[in-house]
Structure 1
Amino acid sequence: MNLTQRISRRGLVAGVRAAATAIGAHRAAGSTVAVHSSVPTRNDQYRAVVVGSGFGGSVAALRLARAGVRTLVLERGRWWNGQPSDNTFPQFFHPDRRVSWLERTPVMPSSPPAEFQPYTGLVERVRGKGMSILCGAGVGGGSLHYAGVGLQPSAELFRSVMPAEVDYDEMAAVFYPKAAAMLRLSPVPDDILNHVRFTASRRFLADAHLADGTPVRLPQPMDWDVVRAELRGELPPWSAHGDVLYGINNGARYSVDKTYLAAALATGLVTVAPLHVVKEVTAGKARRYVLRCERIDTNGTVLENVLVHTDSVVLGAGSANTSRLLVRAKGTGTLSNLPPDVGRYWGNNGNRLYLRTGLPEPSLPHQGGPSCAGNLDWEASTGPATLFHAPAPFEAESFSMYVEGIGIPNGHGEFRYHPRTDSTELVWPSASDVSSGVAVDAAAARMSAAGGGVFLPANALDPNTFHPLGGAVIGPVCDPFGRVHDNVGLYVTDSALIPGSTACCNPSWTITALAERCLDHIVKHDIGTVI
């Protein structure tokens, strides 16, 4: 039984799409944190505060709200609100200031050069020693601009990388299906895959078969009727032409702002505060914690300092930013009881990017997307690997396609705090993913031998990952349900919980399912006592 068949049998249901107006915050007395600035300072208080609005943060917001908890969601980025017939999101080959988080140039690998005024754009590059992280910014977090691929690991591979406290059978029976239903995952339909624009995807699946891999149609959080309308010429051809890396226009993607967060807002108990950058988490006095935030405009100018007082903090800012907040809090002593392994057990999910070029047949310009064709080469003697086609909006015939690879890294990096500069830095030893490199390169070589073309490494000189994992992992830092050890009321529900790998799979589905598992337990055991 393949992945697509399993998902079909689970009968994915539609997520909630309606959004409600956010309610105002409550004032709190007295600051416990000194803020030195010429801009005004405001104090707020909430029963629970979620930092970040991506997969883990949005799950927390919804489940807390449905349990009756008034919750504030702090998001550094802006609302994007993609709608039909719009160009909310920028084009890959024609980048503008929307592409980067407060930088003057594009941060995405292989991007054409451009220069612009800094803006609160979609992608932040976290530059580390040996590795850079590319992470999302905006209401919806990484779900706005990610590849969208939903993959569930096999039991064997899951157990090889995940903490033993997370039971695969329970995840497969309960939390993967629960997350899939909310994310609205479904594979590409036959009529779309058979369209001329998806020639490269069909070619990839055929070559995966010839290479003795396992070709699969990759589940996506897509409204395929929008793609059909594009292919008929009724809407501008964004997905149909593969311009999907910075977000999907025409409202075709079910990003979490349209699913989890929309449902959370519909409860009337959730406030989403965009353009609020959390700078620091400290111990409080009247309440357990204080979050020091800067409210900014879209140019990055600080308009207001905000101190949010709460007894419960849920960190869902993604591996990079959750890790940086915790590592700095430990280094400065603002949270004095953090575990010693904060920032450690970080990994890149074995990411690789290739340009497969020199194909014997046309791959066509404007390759239809998003990614819908994969090769699960999980039983190879060279090590397990996944390859998938990453459609690109090439503007002329190139006889090429981009391919992403995922393996299982053999080591870890870590975030470190530097007191002299009051900064954090990711340190990634180059030997940490040798095993994944061998496995993914071998899988690529098998496809090349079977179907032609050569796989050229596209990020060898600029090591980077779209899949940061770890920094606040289950076991050393958190209990099996995301509670940070020795810090009552402090939780982690995002990719920081996972020690470096989601077992040859894109991480979004696993992150969401794990967050659902955490919140299921937290709602049953902590509301009314801790929260």
Structure 2
Amino acid sequence: MRETVLPDSGASGVSRRRFVVGAGAAVGAAAIAGHVAAPRAYAAPAAGPIANGARVPVLVVGTGYGGSVTALRLAQAGVDVHMIEMGMAWDTPGSDGKIFANTTTPDHRSFWLRTRTKQPLSNFLGFPIDKNIPKYTGILDAEEFAGIMVYQGRGVGGGSLVNGGMAVTPKRENFAGILPSVNADEMYSTYYPRANAGLGVTSVDQRWWENAPCYQYARVGRKHAQRSGFPFVFVPNVYDWDYMKAEEAGTVPKSALAGEVIYGNNAGKKSLQKTYIAQIKSTGRVTITTLHKVTSVAPAAGGGYTVLIDEINTTGDTVATKSVTADRVFFAAGSVGTSKLLVKLKATGALPNLNNEVGKGWGDNGNVMCGRANHMWDATGKLQSSMPTAGIDNWAAGGAFAEVAPLPTGIETYASFYLSITNTPHRAEFSWNAATGKVDLSWQTAWKQTSINMAKTIFDKINQKEGTIYRTDLFGTYKIWGDHLTYHPLGGAVLNKATDNYGRLHGYPGLYVMDGSLIPGNVTVNPFVTITALAERNIENIIANDL
């Protein structure tokens, strides 16, 4: 091992930044740039959570898609990394022998520091379905702002723990409207393929799908879409399809076929824990500290950045506050987490030189949900796989892509259920509220009407063709649209505005953004493949130019 001292960086607060690197670090960086195997002369991993007073070469805030890509590629380039995660590790079974709670029977593991569940579907057959639960650092955060509820994953693996695994690469012709400053040819030739490989993305066996009882609901969705003239498209997923076939055969414990999805999946889904994070652990260069929350980042007097971190227990109480120094900090706490933290740090004077783009450009990816009541001859099935495989594409004509989603209740509902992504133009801004000491979001619920109108270009036509109606019992009393939420928060630290074109924050060399906050509000499809691919692109440039 050797210690490399980088030259002074002026007034940035990161002068004499010390990176502990292996002897092959320079070769490692070149290996990442060429996407070949890096040297494996790794140091022994650190033991235990981060210590008060520690100094680390790199601190990554968050363990979701962007953070995991960042930590892995830095480690492969010979850099020691410490990751800070607000949630739990989710590696220990509960009293029922399972790590995660079931979708239909949420318990203390299901929600982040709530005493009552806040489920996306709040009602069923006219009855409210939320229930009281013990307060606990559960896996799904339903974070409420004035105009919208944002669902986010909490734990090692971030959003990968709680999503439906739909791993969609946006259409090439739509990319310029998503990230106009990014070279699309490079993304589609290099970084999207790299992300898909790293995430373990595969496609369902369509011959099996055609007869699988658990996808009867999707076949009904296809029939209705095609009868109304809409393209029905299969989309990839990160589920292990061989495992799902074994679930159907009854030879393995059921996971997707037991309805597991929004509170975690106990078996078949390839979350980040099984892909990038498994590789991270094998490097021996990355330490992950859980149940710790970063509250401040500011330039340190001796170079680098002073990072204040609260350690919490499983009921959310702060049990210790730690101060550590990091030579470089990568913000990867998700669109909401990163945006809130940066807005607070700018407004309170910790990072006053952040530019005025911080906090702007936030959107909900046009999310809106609805259900349709089918005729008795269009049963959707008692058994429904919780992993969606397909969608209805009316983006070009109506600005909507609708995921044909499961409704895994265990009973026949005769319902088709959809999560739409729409081409909404609305963008909100995070701002610091000095009176409350919190960050506000300027989203307006009325803006969802645009998304509803776009979704209606699909479902009004299908209802007219099929002689069916919208369900009114899923989101309240006589309420058709799930217009109160988003699963896909994006923006708040937009690429090439709040940062340079590779995620470096303006005003503070050594500070980076590496998550969905870089993407301005809409990605036309489910966003995690694009977040991963963009992180792969950005960290390659950072390794090549900043180390």
Structure 1 residue 225: deviation in Å?
Answer: 1.7
1:148 aligned residue (148, 154, 165): 165
Counterpart-to-counterpart distance in 2, 1:241 and 1:524? 45
The amino acid that maps onto 1:519 is I
Counterpart-to-counterpart distance in 2, 1:236 and 1:414? 44
The answer to whether residue 546 in structure 2 is matched with residue 526 in structure 1 is: yes
Q: 1:210-258 CA distances to partner (integer Å, 9 max, x unpaired)?
A: 2222212221111112111211112333312433222212x21111121
The answer to whether residue 83 in structure 2 is matched with residue 73 in structure 1 is: yes
Counterpart-to-counterpart distance in 2, 1:262 and 1:243? 22
Structure 1 residue 192: deviation in Å?
Answer: 4.2
The answer to whether residue 521 in structure 2 is matched with residue 500 in structure 1 is: yes
Structure 1 residue 137: deviation in Å?
Answer: 0.3
The answer to whether residue 186 in structure 2 is matched with residue 170 in structure 1 is: yes
- Contact preservation (8 Å) 2:233, 2:391: yes
- Contact preservation (8 Å) 1:279, 1:294: yes
Alignment of 1:312-391 (within 5 A): 312-359=328-375, 360-380=377-397, 383-391=398-406
- Contact preservation (8 Å) 2:49, 2:289: no
Deviates more, 1:315-324 or 1:237-246: 237-246
Alignment of 1:90-489 (within 5 A): 90-111=101-122, 112-162=129-179, 164-189=180-205, 190-249=207-266, 251-359=267-375, 360-380=377-397, 383-430=398-445, 432-451=447-466, 453-456=468-471, 460=481, 463-489=484-510
The amino acid that maps onto 2:436 is T
Counterpart-to-counterpart distance in 1, 2:509 and 2:520? 22
Question: Structure 1's 462 and 208: CA in aligned 2 closer, same or farther, altered over 3 A?
Answer: closer
Counterpart-to-counterpart distance in 2, 1:156 and 1:434? 26
Counterpart-to-counterpart distance in 1, 2:252 and 2:100? 15
- Contact preservation (8 Å) 2:445, 2:484: no
Q: 1:96-117 CA distances to partner (integer Å, 9 max, x unpaired)?
A: 1111111111122225221122
User: Aligned with 2:272: secondary structure?
Assistant: coil
User: Aligned with 2:53: secondary structure?
Assistant: strand
Structure 1 residue 25: deviation in Å?
Answer: 7.5
User: Aligned with 1:404: secondary structure?
Assistant: strand
Deviates more, 1:429-438 or 1:370-379: 429-438
What are structure 1's unaligned runs of at least 5 residues? 1-19, 28-40
Structure 1 residue 410: deviation in Å?
Answer: 1.1
- Percent identical residues: 34
User: Aligned with 1:272: secondary structure?
Assistant: strand
User: Aligned with 1:416: secondary structure?
Assistant: strand
Question: Structure 1's 407 and 21: CA in aligned 2 closer, same or farther, altered over 3 A?
Answer: farther
User: Aligned with 1:99: secondary structure?
Assistant: coil
The answer to whether residue 53 in structure 2 is matched with residue 43 in structure 1 is: yes
Counterpart-to-counterpart distance in 2, 1:82 and 1:26? 17
Counterpart-to-counterpart distance in 2, 1:370 and 1:324? 31
User: Aligned with 1:475: secondary structure?
Assistant: coil
Q: How many residues align?
A: 489
Structure 1 residue 446: deviation in Å?
Answer: 2.7
Counterpart-to-counterpart distance in 2, 1:322 and 1:240? 34
Counterpart-to-counterpart distance in 2, 1:462 and 1:155? 28
The answer to whether residue 71 in structure 2 is matched with residue 61 in structure 1 is: yes
The answer to whether residue 536 in structure 2 is matched with residue 516 in structure 1 is: yes
Counterpart-to-counterpart distance in 2, 1:263 and 1:65? 10
Question: Structure 1's 483 and 456: CA in aligned 2 closer, same or farther, altered over 3 A?
Answer: farther
- Contact preservation (8 Å) 1:311, 1:489: yes
Q: 1:12 — aligned with what? A: none
Question: Structure 1's 279 and 210: CA in aligned 2 closer, same or farther, altered over 3 A?
Answer: same
The amino acid that maps onto 1:300 is G
- Contact preservation (8 Å) 2:195, 2:532: yes
The amino acid that maps onto 1:517 is R
Counterpart-to-counterpart distance in 2, 1:452 and 1:63? 53
Structure 1 residue 179: deviation in Å?
Answer: 0.2
- Contact preservation (8 Å) 2:342, 2:359: yes
Counterpart-to-counterpart distance in 1, 2:47 and 2:427? 42
- Contact preservation (8 Å) 2:213, 2:383: no
Q: 1:334-370 CA distances to partner (integer Å, 9 max, x unpaired)?
A: 1111111211110000001112223441111231231
- TM-score, length-scaled by structure 2: 0.85
Q: 1:24 — aligned with what? A: 47
Q: 1:10 — aligned with what? A: none
Counterpart-to-counterpart distance in 1, 2:498 and 2:487? 23
Deviates more, 1:222-231 or 1:321-330: 222-231
The amino acid that maps onto 1:278 is V
- Contact preservation (8 Å) 1:139, 1:257: yes
Counterpart-to-counterpart distance in 1, 2:45 and 2:102? 31
The amino acid that maps onto 2:404 is H
What are structure 2's unaligned runs of at least 5 residues? 1-42, 123-128, 476-480
- Contact preservation (8 Å) 1:378, 1:385: yes
Counterpart-to-counterpart distance in 2, 1:515 and 1:438? 33
Deviates more, 1:431-440 or 1:140-149: 431-440
Structure 1 residue 462: deviation in Å?
Answer: 5.8
Structure 1 residue 386: deviation in Å?
Answer: 0.6
Q: 1:19-64 CA distances to partner (integer Å, 9 max, x unpaired)?
A: x98423799xxxxxxxxxxxxx822111001000011110001011
The answer to whether residue 512 in structure 2 is matched with residue 491 in structure 1 is: yes
- Contact preservation (8 Å) 1:351, 1:465: yes
- TM-score, length-scaled by structure 1: 0.88
Q: 1:376-398 CA distances to partner (integer Å, 9 max, x unpaired)?
A: 22221xx3211112212223211
Counterpart-to-counterpart distance in 2, 1:384 and 1:287? 49
Q: 1:296-346 CA distances to partner (integer Å, 9 max, x unpaired)?
A: 222223232222211211011100000010010011011111111211110
